[in-house]
Structure 1
Amino acid sequence: MTFKKTMTDRRSVLRGGAAAIGAAALGGIGSRAHAATDMRLMCWEGYDKPSIIDAFEAAHDANVSVDLITDSAGGFAKLAAGGYRDFDVVSSDSPWIARMGPAGICEYLDDEEFADVYADFYPQFRAPFAPLQYEGKATGLPTRWGWVGPTVNTKFDKVETWASYDPCFDPAYRDKICVLDWGDWPIMPMALHAGIDPYKELDDAELKEIRTVLRALFKNTRALVGDLSVAQKGLMDGSFRALIGGGSYCTSALRKDGQDHILSIVPEPKDGLNQGIIWMEGTGILKGTDNPELAKELVKHMVSPDVAVELAWTEATCNLVPSQAAEAKFTDEQKAALQMDYMWEAWDKSHFHSVAPNIDDMLAIFQEELAAAN
């Protein structure tokens, strides 16, 4: 087995180059010694799309400077260490937007003030939206989402085969499994398969069981891959029968190019536990922004129906959005690429991703078993 030992964020490979460009472009920008119309946004790739930023700047006579995130935890650490004073708005993975509340670094959003925005959302995302609430107050609004489950090429395998994660441990699939080197994303599904809810406090016996299931997974794993393009190539040519730890994020770019035989699915519930995971990004306002009203307008802009379509459909990847009003604006081809006909089945069979209490323990176990397998 060939393993890549560097632990990366699920999107750092895609965004590393863009982040370097963004950092160079922002090199001369200081903190909030700006004109009233200057805004600074920390975000993932996609939110910086010119069609999104330019439209906001033109509508509000504003200048938006962008700092791209390559690691959601690292971005949060930067903000929590005092960097929040240098930004007005942040778009990141939802657990980190939610954590801005207890960290005391966000401006809470008044759900009533955003009632017209929530009215455009699917019912699943309307206020009060628990994943982004802290002590009954909203830390941000949801912006993009998708699910984590096996990614398969139906030219080489049947979707029905992946009604569970059993093939990951089947000798018939030895050296045909690709595990994505994306932090906790490949760990959580394996814990669920073992009958353990990784989003609660775990005891020693449960951590030992997670170690056992990861050890078994690595016995069948052909490669641990951090580069999405490499993983996609192996899936396309049949070298990999499934990608583990990615899901809809892995398939969208291929399906966008017409490769509709590539699918990400969610296994059936097992031992009373859903087997999929819903990931989501959110957008919030940093505490002490010099432009609170303009910051609110930027948040509303990011979730407006027209912008939601732009945010869903980017160069690197394509993702679902919470805006129900945006659905009619997608073409049939876009809906197919996004697997919109499957999204609520995936939702119903999934847990919502949050920060797991024992994630450091699980990451350490993952690395230890990876080293042993090598």
Structure 2
Amino acid sequence: MSKNVSKSWYSDLPHYYQNQIRAMGLDEAGLARRRVLKGMAGVAGAAVLGLSSSRQAQAATQMTYMCWEGYNDPRIIDPFSKANDAEISFDLIVDSPGGFAKLQAGASREVDIVSSDMPWITRMGPAGLALELNPEDYAEVYATFYDQFKPPFEPLLTDGKTIGVATRWGWVGPCVNTDVTKPEAWKTYDPVFDPANKDKICVMDWGDWPILPMALHAGINPYEELDQAALDEVRKVLRAMFKNTRTLVGDLTQAQKGLLDGSLLGCIGAGSYLTSAVRKQGHKNILALVPDPKNGLKQGIIWVEATAILKETDQPELAQKLLKHVVSKESGHILSLLDTTCNVVTNKAVEELYTPEERDILQMDYMWHAYDNSQMHRIAPNIDEMLAIWQEELAAAQ
């Protein structure tokens, strides 16, 4: 890769993500400082220990897995490690842009496999980071998958090439407490704007997530290129939302508490990721819903996590084994019912392991309704403009 390309690898991203990358010190300047410090420490360490610090000097059965917390659950990893005599270390990510930035900036030489949000896994293809997967090599895996995630699964294709395998998914829509509001009232986002609900609606302060459903409510598809007229409609709906609610919450547990104690009727900008943990605790009155399509425009959003193998791995066969293990029936059962969040997985065979109680926790009787009435999440082309509007309208409301 030429110096020019490497210096501007993230310049095609929306500024929202570029700013995140710079804030985390994952831009060129930040990484240059890290490389100097890491290099000095590495040389000193090698001198003291008399060891080579290169990856080639490591044991042949060592691997590095970059993933969200949960994928590293010992119940998932330990059986694989023992069966394959492999030692797996983890690079836990807290956000997908940051994980992608680390890989693009050089971590791809140290990481073997990665599980992250699907739009960023897909980007690994044109970025030259991920191995192209041959679906035929995963035939036994896909045989157990829901049809919706079997190849050709368009969101994970780049120029017809399969970049990763979908692992876990869920939906974004209103989160409600059915003790204080009726689910039927949320067939649209109208309750967000009802004066009777002032100060009873929670809006998650989670970047683009609360903006996207509001754009859909305004009749705007945020996953398409937007003109000024469309952006003006987004402004109007955000202005109306802030005028009525003004309740921004950045902490997941705070939103969960407000729903549980009934002080909040509903929450916007989250979904099954927020409700599942409290449902596991026994609070089945907390639901993640998806409004009905409005003028033909689906109002919910489906998020998907996926797993890819790094092109520079020196353990491609073992990485492939781990990928298959992560999406197996046994691993999927564990991954879908973590304490922090519970979300459905792509492997249909996992259903054989669920108790009726676990199915209820995951709202499995509802999940295909949510899927069929939702947009598939990807990076919104005009996210910068929408975030600027968000900030302007929020400031005006306050």
TM-score calculated relative to the size of structure 2: 0.86
Q: Structure 1: how far apart are the matches of 2:100 and 2:387?
A: 19
State the match for 2:211 in structure 1. 187
State the match for 2:31 in structure 1. none
Q: Structure 1: how far apart are the matches of 2:325 and 2:396?
A: 49
State the match for 1:261 in structure 2. 285
State the match for 2:275 in structure 1. 251
Q: Which amino acid aligns with 1:32?
A: R
Q: Which amino acid aligns with 1:97?
A: I
Matches within 5 A, 1:319-330: 319-330=343-354
State the match for 1:32 in structure 2. 55
Q: Secondary structure at the match of 1:112?
A: helix
State the match for 1:292 in structure 2. 316
Give 1:55 deviation, angstroms. Answer: 1.2
Match of 2:306 among 274, 282, 286: 282
Q: Which amino acid aligns with 1:143?
A: T
Q: Structure 2: how far apart are the matches of 1:320 and 1:182?
A: 22
State the match for 1:178 in structure 2. 202
- Counterparts in 2 of 1:31 and 1:285: CA distance versus 1, 3 Å: farther
Match of 2:122 among 73, 98, 106: 98
Matched, 1:68 2:92: yes
State the match for 1:23 in structure 2. none
Q: Secondary structure at the match of 2:90?
A: strand
Matched, 1:122 2:155: no
Gaps of 5+ in 2: 1-15, 18-40, 46-52
Q: Structure 2: how far apart are the matches of 1:106 and 1:358?
A: 26
Q: Structure 2: how far apart are the matches of 1:170 and 1:32?
A: 59
Give 1:192 deviation, angstroms. Answer: 0.4
Q: Which amino acid aligns with 1:77?
A: A
Give 1:31 deviation, angstroms. Answer: 6.7
Q: Structure 2: how far apart are the matches of 1:65 and 1:130?
A: 31
Aligned-residue Cα RMSD (Å) equals: 1.6
Looking at both structures, which has the greater relative contact order when contacts are Cα pairs under 8 Å and sequence separation is at least 6? 1
Could you tell me whether the CA contact under 8 Å between 1:177 and 1:243 is conserved in 2?
yes
Q: Structure 2: how far apart are the matches of 1:292 and 1:269?
A: 43
- Counterparts in 2 of 1:176 and 1:100: CA distance versus 1, 3 Å: same
State the match for 1:146 in structure 2. 170
Give 1:167 deviation, angstroms. Answer: 0.9
State the match for 1:110 in structure 2. 134
Gaps of 5+ in 1: 1-6, 9-26
Give 1:32 deviation, angstroms. Answer: 2.8
Match of 1:335 among 341, 359, 381: 359
Q: Secondary structure at the match of 1:107?
A: coil
Matches within 5 A, 1:189-228: 189-228=213-252
Q: Which amino acid aligns with 2:170?
A: G
Q: Structure 2: how far apart are the matches of 1:227 and 1:316?
A: 13
- Counterparts in 2 of 1:187 and 1:310: CA distance versus 1, 3 Å: same
Q: Structure 2: how far apart are the matches of 1:222 and 1:367?
A: 12
Could you tell me whether the CA contact under 8 Å between 2:176 and 2:286 is conserved in 1?
yes
Q: Structure 2: how far apart are the matches of 1:229 and 1:43?
A: 22
Could you tell me whether the CA contact under 8 Å between 1:176 and 1:239 is conserved in 2?
yes
Equivalenced residues, count: 350
Q: Structure 2: how far apart are the matches of 1:282 and 1:208?
A: 34
Match of 2:377 among 322, 334, 353: 353
TM-score calculated relative to the size of structure 1: 0.91
Give 1:222 deviation, angstroms. Answer: 4.3
State the match for 1:86 in structure 2. 110
| Deviation string, structure 1 residues 82-138 (Cα, Å, up to 9, x no partner) | 221120000000000001011111111100111110010011111111111111111
Match of 2:330 among 301, 306, 309: 306
Q: Structure 2: how far apart are the matches of 1:188 and 1:217?
A: 13
Q: Structure 2: how far apart are the matches of 1:370 and 1:80?
A: 34
Match of 1:159 among 183, 186, 197: 183
Could you tell me whether the CA contact under 8 Å between 2:329 and 2:349 is conserved in 1?
yes
Q: Which amino acid aligns with 2:167?
A: T
| Deviation string, structure 1 residues 8-58 (Cα, Å, up to 9, x no partner) | 9xxxxxxxxxxxxxxxxxx99977342110000111111010111111101
- Counterparts in 2 of 1:262 and 1:90: CA distance versus 1, 3 Å: same
| Deviation string, structure 1 residues 266-312 (Cα, Å, up to 9, x no partner) | 00000210000000100001111010000101110110001100111
Match of 2:74 among 29, 50, 55: 50
State the match for 1:364 in structure 2. 388
The runs of at least 4 consecutive aligned structure 1 residues that moved more than 2 Å come to 27-34
Match of 1:41 among 65, 79, 85: 65
Q: Structure 2: how far apart are the matches of 1:153 and 1:215?
A: 25
Q: Which amino acid aligns with 1:336?
A: D
State the match for 1:135 in structure 2. 159
Could you tell me whether the CA contact under 8 Å between 2:246 and 2:397 is conserved in 1?
no
Q: Which amino acid aligns with 1:313?
A: L
